[in-house]
């Protein structure tokens, strides 16, 4: 494919590659929880990750353009598809794992002002001890930082340019002088103090210490009780899951009906295997496969603790969603079944003739 791209003078610009790469990295950072956790998972700094995947992204973009060119005039008839599958030996047919569309309603209670103030005060005390020479920044990062990836490296993040860190973090870090330590900075990931190690052109290498404010137990219990009431409304038929999601959910997924998106494929379909694989990579998938394996279609779960950024700081309701489009079409579709399958159980209520 790559050789054909060269022969056909197919190219992609550096700007296109960077835009595609940044988009993918932003997506995975959002799913993993933070840039620091992504760096920990890969064992590399963000700049090193980008250097490693840049060529792969470019190659994939070139291959996709070649594939599109090859397929642009291809026409396949239903008879050709049928003939292809009929020619496959029965013992070579793969077993297709069932996939699910899963929707959720999330209650994510906010962190209290008092808790935030306590965390900020702890960071100011750490900063004071460093400035007074009681301990070095790197030692304090090892002892206190809640970013496990960088803490082991004394808080060091590695060289990176703009667009990698949270905006609030960058606005401070890129304006520090070598060795200077910032005031406390708040981002979506928590509270930081930052020390600039070195600047090289448009990139910087810095250390940080991260502390996060925790949701009080009482707030979590309240969220659990609220979702228990919502679940009863849905089960009693007083409210649809979609309406409840739109009204009560604190998660961005409420904007698309509450669907849980497959972080690897970007689709709304998840198999048990997918969930088990993703569970090891993303906190929000923890125990999802276990729950789904015990739910029927349209059955609403009890409130379940939800992990985000490794903290059980939310609760959610889960439901396996029946595809309305398929359900509607099934009533109008003609399906022929061999006698041996006529008494089988099917996921959808097909209109058998």
pLDDT tens profile 58-99: 888 888 888 777 777 778 888 888 888 888 887 887 776 778
Q: In whole angstroms, what is the distance from residue 222 CA to residue 225 CA?
A: 5
**Per-residue confidence (pLDDT) for residue 329, from 0 to 100:** 58
Query: Is this prediction's pTM over 0.75?
Result: no
- What confidence category does residue 184 fall into, taking pLDDT thresholds of 50, 70 and 90? very high
Residues 57, 24 contacting (CB under 8 angstroms) = yes
pLDDT digits over 212-268, tens only? Answer: 888 888 999 999 999 999 999 999 999 999 999 999 999 888 888 899 888 777 778
Is the pLDDT at 11 greater than 80? The verdict is: yes
Closest to 82 (Cα-Cα) out of 345, 348, 336, 270:
336
**Per-residue confidence (pLDDT) for residue 353, from 0 to 100:** 45
Q: How far is residue 336 CA from its own chain's centroid?
A: 41
Closest to 191 (Cα-Cα) out of 34, 314, 312, 308:
34
pLDDT digits over 87-144, tens only? Answer: 888 788 777 677 889 999 999 888 888 889 999 999 999 999 999 999 999 999 999 9
pLDDT digits over 291-341, tens only? Answer: 988 898 899 999 999 876 545 588 999 999 865 555 555 666 667 777 777
Spell out the domains of the chain, with CATH numbers in brackets. 2-91 (no CATH), 99-110+215-322 (3.10.50.40), 113-211 (3.10.50.40)
Residues 6+ apart with CB under 8 A from 98: 271, 272, 347
């Amino acid at each position: 494919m790559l050789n054909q791209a060269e022969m056909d003078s197919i190219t992609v610009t550096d700007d296109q590659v960077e835009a595609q790469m940044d988009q993918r990295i932003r997506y995975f950072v959002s799913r993993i929880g933070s840039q620091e956790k992504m760096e920990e998972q890969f064992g590399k700094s963000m700049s090193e990750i980008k250097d490693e995947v840049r060529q792969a992204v470019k190659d994939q973009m070139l291959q996709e353009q070649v594939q599109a060119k090859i397929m642009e005039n291809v026409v396949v008839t239903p008879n050709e598809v049928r003939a292809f599958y009929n020619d496959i030996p029965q013992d070579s047919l793969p077993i297709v794992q069932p996939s699910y569309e899963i929707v959720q309603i999330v209650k994510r209670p906010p962190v209290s002002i008092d808790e935030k103030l306590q965390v900020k005060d702890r960071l100011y005390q750490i900063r004071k001890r460093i400035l007074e020479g009681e301990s070095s920044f790197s030692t304090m990062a090892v002892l206190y930082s809640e970013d496990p990836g960088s803490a082991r490296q004394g808080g060091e993040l590695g060289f990176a340019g703009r667009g990698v860190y949270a905006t609030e973090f960058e606005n401070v870090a890129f304006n520090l002088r070598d060795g200077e330590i910032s005031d406390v900075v708040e981002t979506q990931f928590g509270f930081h103090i930052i020390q600039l190690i070195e600047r090289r052109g448009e990139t910087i290498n810095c250390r940080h210490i991260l502390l996060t404010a925790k949701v009080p137990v009482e707030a979590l219990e309240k969220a659990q009780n609220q979702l228990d009431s919502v679940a009863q409304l849905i089960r009693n038929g007083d409210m649809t899951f979609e309406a409840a999601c739109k009204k009560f959910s604190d998660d961005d997924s409420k904007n698309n009906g509450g669907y849980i998106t497959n972080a690897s494929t970007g689709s709304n379909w998840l198999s048990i295997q997918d969930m088990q694989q993703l569970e090891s990579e993303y906190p929000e998938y923890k125990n999802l496969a276990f729950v789904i394996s015990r739910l029927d279609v349209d059955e609403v779960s009890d409130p379940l603790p939800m992990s985000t950024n490794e903290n059980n700081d939310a609760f959610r309701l889960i439901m396996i969603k029946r595809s309305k489009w398929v359900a509607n079409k099934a009533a109008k579709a003609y399906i022929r079944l061999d006698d041996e399958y006529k008494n089988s159980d099917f996921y959808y209520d097909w209109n058998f003739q």
